[in-house]
Structure 1
Amino acid sequence: MTDPDTSTATLMLRQMLGNGLDAERSLVDRIVEDVALQIIDGRLPPGADVNSVELAKRYSSSRTPVREALLTLQREGLVDIPARKRPRVAPVTLVQAREVYEVRASLHGLVSELIVRRQPPLDVLYEWHGKLAQDAASGDVDGYFWDNVAFRQAEAEVAGNAQLARTLSSLGLRTLQLRHVSLSLPGRLERSVDDHDRLLQAYADRDAELAVAITKSIIMGGLRAIEQSGWVGE
């Protein structure tokens, strides 16, 4: 398993949260990133308590930065803060999962269409795909997941539409939580590598219709895996 403190994981989270890549992280940023990683990778499952007292002890801080961090996580949809109750990891319903994946499929389909239309260099996508193949071969689910997140972000940047890239990023951390669940299921890594290989071939062949179809199939296949897993509630 890749160390999240030194891997793609923290870099991707900082970008999505707008924390910057080079700036010194504040204590609030550190708490947000650390708790978010635990929720995304399943160490803190839906419904689990998020103990603010324990967090304050862990980070040798007062309750104030912990409270600020939890409010940020609440805005991202990862944490619920009920009145007069302990904060908890927000539950996920099947309806929410379906809505997220329908939006993702449409937006990423547009990314694929733009890539074929504009015909940019694909070197960066082949580079990330090589990392995905290595992760799958070693059974590194967390490494594969974060490299897959990076692949999709690279796709959005290669497509050349900044507004589309921002819109995809704004879908938030809840999307990452669902995607991690999907890729953690048996057999998903190998299938995903093969699907991405076919997608890159469609890009190389300048076949927009096929590229869009493969992209949507990859994403909706992730939803079907989640539905069959029973991980989310109705």
Structure 2
Amino acid sequence: MNARSDGKPAVRPFGTEPSAGHLEIMRVLGRSERATSVVDQILVSVGTAIVESRLHPGDDLNSVELARMFQSSRTPVREALLTLEREGLVEINAHRRPRVRRLSLDEVRDIYELRSTLYALVSRRIVENATESELGTLRDLQHRLEQAADAGDVDRYFWLNVDFRNYEASIAGNRTVRRVLDGVGVRTLQLRHLSLSLPGRLGASVADHERLLRAYEDRDADLASALTQTLVRRGLAAIETSGWTGRGDS
């Protein structure tokens, strides 16, 4: 398992103060926010490290090192990594160490196509259903996105962006759509973080969110639907033009 360039470990136990990333991964995986078990601690910490690109596609996941870090046996490590394998973040093959899974570009495109279609529906439902108070909450989130973009804080912007999208889904009120979006799992988070970390993406993203929010406030369902699809597709285009291959060599 690699350390970051600043010498800090890629995987960090979070103790009693889980980050926004830890909380979101626990939510998507259906885990308690308390995350008291060693298995939860390991899977959330490793999952967050993958999403935030502290671990990269192809990186080995050393079970002995993880067991030492979390002061556990290797059994909870295996259980946590098996959960992450089911979510599409980890590869486990016989006779070799588990490693961070490499996504193909075709798989990335499929995921973004699904998100584009579903969020178009979400945006229409927001125009139809959102109260002024709910739109005010989205406006508050937009202000915080602007602050994070101005500061160039990719991680903070990313998790605020996740909050924005999650709140949109809750306003839309379509539980089936919400379940499908969550079902895509943490693979989506990994890709979204990657896209936003590319040069120039924070400024473009915050401007796109501002246009989308104005469409909500104007109650323009057609425009909101088109804008949210454009927003998602631009994220995909950023990945495609970056030279990313899913092999950790971009």
- Alignment TM-score > 0.5, same fold: yes
Coarse TM-score class (shorter-chain normalised): over 0.9
Q: Is the 8 A contact 1:80 1:87 kept in 2?
A: yes
Residues 98-134 of structure 1, C-alpha deviation per residue, up to 9 Å, x if partnerless?
Answer: 0000000000110001111224331221121111111
Question: CA RMSD of the aligned region, Å?
Answer: 1.5
CA distance in 2, matches of 1:185, 1:15: 26
Bigger relative contact order (CA 8 A; separation at least 6): 1
Q: Is the 8 A contact 1:19 1:25 kept in 2?
A: no
CA distance in 2, matches of 1:42, 1:169: 20
CA distance in 2, matches of 1:88, 1:119: 43
Give the Å deviation of 1:225: 0.3
Three-state SS of the structure 2 residue aligned to 1:231 is coil
Give the Å deviation of 1:165: 1.4
Which runs of 4 or more aligned residues in structure 1 lie more than 6 Å from their structure 2 counterparts after TM superposition?
none
Partner of 2:38: 27
Give the Å deviation of 1:170: 1.2
Partner of 1:208: 221
Amino acid at match of 1:17: L
Amino acid at match of 1:12: E
Partner of 2:201: 188
Instruction: Indicate how the Cα distance of structure 1 residues 61 and 164 shifts in structure 2: closer, same or farther if over 3 A, else same.
Output: same
Q: Name stretches of at least 5 consecutive residues in structure 1 with no aligned partner.
A: none
Q: TM-score w.r.t. structure 1 length?
A: 0.95
Alignment of 1:115-134 (within 5 A): 115-120=126-131, 121-134=134-147
Find out whether 1:9 has 2:9 as its counterpart.
no
Find out whether 1:105 has 2:116 as its counterpart.
yes
CA distance in 2, matches of 1:155, 1:202: 13
Instruction: Indicate how the Cα distance of structure 1 residues 233 and 169 shifts in structure 2: closer, same or farther if over 3 A, else same.
Output: closer
Amino acid at match of 1:9: G
CA distance in 1, matches of 2:44, 2:35: 13
Residues 155-210 of structure 1, C-alpha deviation per residue, up to 9 Å, x if partnerless?
Answer: 00011212221221111001111101100001111111111000010001111110
Give the Å deviation of 1:231: 1.7
Q: Name stretches of at least 5 consecutive residues in structure 2 with no aligned partner.
A: 1-11
Q: Is the 8 A contact 2:129 2:171 kept in 1?
A: no
Find out whether 1:227 has 2:218 as its counterpart.
no
Corresponding pairs, count: 231
Partner of 1:72: 83
Give the Å deviation of 1:24: 4.6
Give the Å deviation of 1:63: 0.5
CA distance in 2, matches of 1:109, 1:66: 39
